[in-house]
Structure 1
Amino acid sequence: MNMIPSVDLNDFISNDPKKKQKFVDAIGKAYEEIGFVALKGHFLDDTLADNLYKEVKHFFELPVETKQSYEIPGIGGQRGYVSFGKESAKGKKEGDLKEFWHFGQYVEDDDKLKAEYPDNVIVNELPEFNKVGKEAYQMLEKTAKYVLRALALYLGLDELYFDVYIHNGNSILRPIHYPPITQEPDEAVRAAAHGDINLITLLMGAQGRGLQVQNHEGEWIDAIAEADELMINVGDMLSRHTNNKLKSTIHRVINPPRELWGTSRYSIPFFMHPISDMKLNVLDGCVDEENPKAFEDITAGEFLTERLIELGLIKK
């Protein structure tokens, strides 16, 4: 497979059973074969997306010392600012050529979870930044909920199987700035080859070249979305839960050609995480003689901690 399939969420939320089943089959097949789809019909409208990009660019244009004042020690980068080069891919010693921000969950009905998650960080210099970030977070979370409902049906589960685990889940909205490249980057790239940790990732800003996906033959293919599409991929948690039936595909963001080194790149992924006590144990329906159980039992919280240590965001 050398193309990323495109699907339309309107088919799934229509009242037409045939259209709904067509969507379920198409997205399930794509996630078995390549692990990525381009999604139309999502809940993030153009105005909100434009406002988010505007606010994000304003933030990353702030002086370095101002941005660093929003870097909160001791929370593994889960909220607020993470400065340039701090994160590296699993197994890579070179830091990625990026800086980023984290918006987290807005818990309103669970005091235990509210206490578990760090507070969102308020940017005093930009009065609209947090408001727009919250609106975008919630629209992407709503989109992700319906994608997971479709995947639940594809897996032979109840349609609402994931709902209880993603309500107040530990999801993250991450605006990323890849600054202009000012010198030969040696071994570093904008984002080294990696798989995502979470259930699914919804990516804004995949309209230009840069994001690449590795297919089953080991070939790197460009993943370029249309202006009205989000790129959505399976993360390691969902791959593990489904015994690799749904594939968490390795992907990367390559450096641009030298003539474009002077340009910034922005992308905004939404990482859909469940609550930390969700069991990621392999689903019974994904185990058979040809596909024996491949993973030990683990909770989402335990798995996340393991991976944040591997990424260098939490120190042992």
Structure 2
Amino acid sequence: MDLDTLPVLSLADEPDRFSSEIGESFRTFGFAMVRDHGIDGELVARGWELTREFFDLPDDEKRRYHLEGQGGARGYTPFMTEVAKGAEHRDLKEFWHIGRDLEPGNPLEPTMPPNIWPDRPAGFRETFTDLYAEFDRVGNILLSRIASDLGLSPDWFEPAVEEGNSVMRLLHYPPLPEDAGGSIRAGAHEDINLITLLLGAEEAGLELLARDGDWIEVSPPEGALVVNIGDMLQRLTNHVLPSTTHRVRNPSGERARHSRYSMPFFLHLRSDFRFETLAQCITAENPDRYPDRITADDYLQERLREIGLKT
């Protein structure tokens, strides 16, 4: 495998072949690029149009949907709120979060607040409800391939992510301010969740930190997903599948005057899932790094405090 270029994999390939290829890409980069995922292009195009329309709304209107005390779990999070773990400067971005709808009385309700929806643009709720379901569907297929690569049953993750606390994020990086003050669009970080499925990385800027310490640009073909490991999967696999540091650097020249949009889907475990390191990922050379059996929600709340979304 070329250590400077991420391979582009096809989800339409024979499952065992895809499992092996994504496992190799994950072990090498912590990332993969995936085409032929089956998410409807027209639905995605409507999503991009509505994303731009929402972020073009007046700031005071957007802020009506900012919910204090929820750690950005649902609705709007204003510009320069989030900060990468350990960073000094806040990210140059604003975003909107959509989560899973639960039936009233579901025992997971305390960890998963209900969605809120803006009054405009028209069709926002319907479009992103459908897109959320599509990301969820494709994410479960990817997890089944990952499970096979790990030597698990293909359906191993199904109960672990059933009613999982997955979040779709609509991201807007506005044109760069004249003085960014040391901030970049997204500081170097690792994702919290199990895996991330990302649309919108065709616009330059996303980079991952390779094992040799160099930054590699991630440039998927149009419409392809970028998929990366989050810290929860790293923890579960005892770092056999590593969560990789990545960032969104600031553009220069003409591109600095343009907005950048992306649409990551953070696929999460159930809130009450209790971490227990996979036995096949523990060896004499790689002893269990995580003997504490905390829940997925415990872990999430700890990380939200570290990135400034909760106090």
Q: TM-score by structure 1 length?
A: 0.95
Q: Which residue of 2 aligns with 1:123?
A: 118
Shift of 1:43: 3.0
Taking the aligned partners of 1:110 and 1:143, their CA distance within structure 2 comes to 28
State the secondary structure of the residue aligned to 1:111: coil
Q: Aligned AA for 1:306?
A: E
Cα contact 1:43–1:142 (8 A) shared by 2: no
Taking the aligned partners of 1:108 and 1:37, their CA distance within structure 2 comes to 34
Taking the aligned partners of 1:220 and 1:270, their CA distance within structure 2 comes to 23
State the secondary structure of the residue aligned to 1:248: coil
Superposition map of 1:85-104 within 5 A? 85-104=80-99
Cα contact 1:171–1:270 (8 A) shared by 2: yes
Shift of 1:45: 1.2
Cα contact 1:5–1:36 (8 A) shared by 2: no
1:161 is aligned to 2:156? yes
Shift of 1:228: 2.7
Structure 2 gap ranges (5+)? none
Taking the aligned partners of 2:163 and 2:219, their CA distance within structure 1 comes to 31
Measured against aligned partners, the alpha-carbon deviations of 1:76-107 in whole angstroms (never above 9, x if no partner) come to 11000000000000001211000000000122
Within the candidate set 305, 308, 316, 2:304 is matched to: 308
Q: Which residue of 1 aligns with 2:128?
A: 133
Q: Which residue of 1 aligns with 2:275?
A: 280
Q: Aligned AA for 1:154?
A: D
State the secondary structure of the residue aligned to 1:107: coil
Aligned-pair RMSD on alpha carbons?
1.2
Q: Aligned AA for 1:9?
A: L
Q: Which residue of 1 aligns with 2:57?
A: 62
- After alignment, is 302-311 or 115-124 more displaced? 115-124
Q: Which residue of 2 aligns with 1:84?
A: 79
Q: Which residue of 1 aligns with 2:12?
A: 10
Superposition map of 1:173-188 within 5 A? 173-188=168-183
Shift of 1:258: 3.3
Q: TM-score by structure 2 length?
A: 0.96
Taking the aligned partners of 1:108 and 1:219, their CA distance within structure 2 comes to 46
Shift of 1:279: 1.9
Q: 1:149 to 1:313 in 2, by over 3 A?
A: same
1:266 is aligned to 2:239? no
State the secondary structure of the residue aligned to 2:72: coil
Cα contact 1:241–1:280 (8 A) shared by 2: yes
Taking the aligned partners of 2:21 and 2:103, their CA distance within structure 1 comes to 35
Shift of 1:168: 1.0
Shift of 1:158: 1.3
Taking the aligned partners of 2:105 and 2:26, their CA distance within structure 1 comes to 33
Taking the aligned partners of 1:286 and 1:154, their CA distance within structure 2 comes to 12
Q: Which residue of 2 aligns with 1:21?
A: 16
Within the candidate set 43, 50, 53, 2:48 is matched to: 53
Taking the aligned partners of 1:125 and 1:228, their CA distance within structure 2 comes to 26
Shift of 1:109: 8.5
Q: Aligned AA for 2:308?
A: G
Shift of 1:110: 6.8
Taking the aligned partners of 2:203 and 2:54, their CA distance within structure 1 comes to 22
State the secondary structure of the residue aligned to 1:175: strand
Which 4+ stretches in 1 moved above 3 angstroms? none
Taking the aligned partners of 1:64 and 1:149, their CA distance within structure 2 comes to 41
Q: Which residue of 2 aligns with 1:149?
A: 144
Within the candidate set 32, 38, 48, 1:37 is matched to: 32
Structure 1 gap ranges (5+)? 12-18
Q: Aligned AA for 2:21?
A: A
Superposition map of 1:203-214 within 5 A? 203-214=198-209
Within the candidate set 195, 203, 215, 1:200 is matched to: 195
Shift of 1:259: 2.9
Cα contact 2:111–2:271 (8 A) shared by 1: no
Taking the aligned partners of 1:173 and 1:281, their CA distance within structure 2 comes to 26
Taking the aligned partners of 1:33 and 1:294, their CA distance within structure 2 comes to 20
Taking the aligned partners of 1:73 and 1:296, their CA distance within structure 2 comes to 34
Q: Aligned AA for 2:297?
A: G
Cα contact 2:238–2:277 (8 A) shared by 1: yes
Taking the aligned partners of 1:5 and 1:117, their CA distance within structure 2 comes to 35
Measured against aligned partners, the alpha-carbon deviations of 1:56-83 in whole angstroms (never above 9, x if no partner) come to 1110000000000000112111000000
